[in-house]
Amino acid sequence: MPYSLSPVVNHDSNRRPGREVVDRLRRSEIYRDYERAFAETTGLPLALRAVDTLAMPMRGSPNENPFCALMSTTNKSCSACLELQRRVEMEARLQPRTLKCFAGLCDSAVPIRVGDKVLAFLQTGQILLHKPRKADFAAVTQQLLKLGVEIDVKQLEETYFQTRVLDRKQYEAVLRLLSIFAQHLATLSNQLMVSATRIDPPAIEQAKQFISEHQGEELTLGQVAQAVNTSAFYFCKMFKQATGLTFVDYLARVRVEKVKNLLLNPHKRISEAAFEAGFQSLSQFNRVFKRIEGESPTVWRDRSMRHSAA
């Protein structure tokens, strides 16, 4: 089934490009379809959160745990939840990570990595790995008293015992599904970085068109600047401000997308695709491809072929 990616209009030049990409991923048809399927299949909340944006990511989700929703209404318990989000993010930079809150509920984050950088996290959780017990709830209320939280204990108990319970094996399977989806979103994110629809200065639009037409050649910043009648210094500054990427990084991503399209042809050799897209050496190509995609071209192609055959 084909999926469309929502265009974005950039009204804020100071906005971090990574967050803009995450916003587009969140609005994309593929994410919305997956979010619905995930919610219906698992009964768990799901959130897509940009890196370094501490918040209550599952607040307002249709599957939000009633206990967690109640906790978020008090400042002191909310602070404890935000601290847990910070810890989960710090520990989930390389692989999925699950931590428990003061009430024993699990929260998990799955990183979406673009090359060697973390772009965002898929988050789920608010579950228990064992059936809630009276002794557990008594420990929770004691902890809340220490924090000075004033809350309706009867309502709190009712929501605590409504908490979804999964065994460890079930929950690990859920996180594996999210890890596979995170890989897919990572691939889409690079496409978004080079295809975003913006209100750009005419010179930037002209530069993008020139790059698209000449990407297979040995292209330099000076040549592109000359093509749009600006100095190299001014063009470099203007291009970074408008796209959030340096000229070199943008060109590399355009070429990688070209290679990926070429490699969908099983008869096309990787070296042919690299040179056709404009890379000047195989060592440069392999280094750039792995930095952007997080895996070698051979691994990417094998994985894409398996998905196409499935």
Does any domain span residue 74?
yes
Asked if 31 and 171 sit in the same domain, the reply is yes
Residues 185 and 222 in one domain: no
Q: Are residues 39 and 88 in the same domain?
A: yes
**Looking at residue 3, what is its pLDDT?**
37
- Which residue in 218, 214, 296, 219 sits closest to 263, CA to CA? 296
Indicate the residue among 137, 162, 192 that finishes a domain.
Answer: 192
Q: Tell me, what's the pLDDT at 199?
A: 56
Residue 40 lies in a domain: yes
Q: Where are the beta strands (DSSP E) in the chain?
A: 47-50, 97-100, 106-114, 117-127
Res 135: pLDDT = 93
Strand partners, 179: none
Q: Report the CATH number that the domain containing residue 278 is assigned in CATH.
A: 1.10.10.60
Quote the pLDDT of residue 10.
Answer: 40
Residues 172, 25, single domain; the answer is yes
Whether 5 is covered by a domain: the verdict is no
User: Looking at the domain assignment, is residue 7 inside a domain?
Assistant: no
> Using CA atoms, how far apart are residues 310 and 306, in angstroms rounded to an integer?
6
Residues 46 and 156 placed together within one structural domain of the fold:
yes
Dihedral class, residue 55 (left if φ above 0, else alpha if ψ from -120 to 50, else beta):
beta
Residue 23 pLDDT: 86
pTM: 0.65
Among 143, 162, 192, the domain-final residue is: 192
Residue appearing with tokens 């008090």: 74
Return the CATH number at 174. Answer: 3.30.450
Q: What is the pLDDT along the chain (310 residues), one digit of tens a residue?
A: 333 333 333 434 344 557 778 888 888 888 889 999 999 999 999 999 888 776 777 887 889 999 988 887 776 666 777 777 788 878 888 889 999 988 899 999 999 987 778 889 999 999 999 999 999 999 988 888 887 877 788 999 999 999 999 999 999 999 999 999 998 888 888 777 666 545 568 888 899 989 989 999 999 999 999 999 999 999 998 898 888 889 999 999 999 989 988 988 888 999 999 999 999 999 999 999 988 888 899 988 887 777 655 5
Residues 183 and 208 in one domain: no
Q: Which amino acid is at 289?
A: F
